[in-house]
Amino acid sequence: MFQINGTVLNADGSVGRNGQNVVVKNTSNPRHVQIDTTGNRAGDGRYVVTFFDIEAPVVQTGDILEVSVIDKDSNLLGQISQSIIAADIQAFGKRIDVTLGTTPTRKITGTNLFQINGTVYTAKGTPVEDGFTVTVKNASKPPLVQITAAGAVAGQGRYIVTFFNFAEPVAEGGDVVEIAILDKAGNPFAQKKQTLTEADVKAFGVTI
């Protein structure tokens, strides 16, 4: 487990407004991407995200963390990259503040940020126990795949993954999302496919 937090600052050093999306990505291990909204959980202008994987380290010394601030109109307002050092590993976290530019640095075209979340249920309609493996794939844009564990970061039986790429869209209307669930013994448990709508794309996410 590794937590990244910080404050979004305006160019004059004042605390940035709430409601801005902050995307934190381990560029050395790209499947680890998390998003938070400033002021959502950590106080005015602040963000906090947690990387967690029960099977493998989420960060290692020398990894590069990239923190990007994006407004509701998909403008990239600020970005910073920092390396993980041994002291960060020992502390299980790192603080990274981001200072915004006076103007947007670029416009993100398409949907370069998309979050998928949901709950895995048993046949009786109750959430499954933690530890089920959830694989989420955008079958229309391979190899966009994220793997997580139910209950790892989002509550019992819940999963959440984030696709993020500045170079090209990660989701568009008409794309087909495939979800495959394995139980704790590694046996197939459930599968589901869902076609993304334009409304999903505009909302930057969908619950499946």
The distance from CA 96 to its chain's CA centroid, rounded to whole angstroms, is: 16
User: Could you read off the pLDDT of 177-207 as tens digits, one per residue?
Assistant: 999 999 988 899 999 999 988 788 878 889 9
What pLDDT, in 10s, does the model give residues 35-93?
888 888 778 899 999 888 877 788 999 888 989 888 776 678 888 889 999 999 999 99
pLDDT band at 151 (very low <50, low <70, confident <90, very high): confident
Q: Compute the mean pLDDT over every residue in the chain, rounded to the nearest whole number.
A: 85
Question: Average of pLDDT values for 15-21?
Answer: 89
Percent above pLDDT 70 for the chain: 91
Report the pLDDT value the prediction gives residue 41, as an integer from 0 to 100.
79
Q: What pLDDT does 154 receive? A: 63
Residue bearing the bigger pLDDT, 41 or 11: 11
- Greater pLDDT, 102 or 197: 197
Mean pLDDT, residues 18-32 taken together? 83
CA distance 163 to 169: 9
Least confident of 7-11, 22-26, 92-96: 22-26
> pLDDT at position 129, please?
87
136-164 mean pLDDT: 82
pTM above 0.75, yes or no: no
pLDDT bracket for residue 109 (50, 70, 90)? very low
Between 30 and 95, the higher pLDDT residue: 95
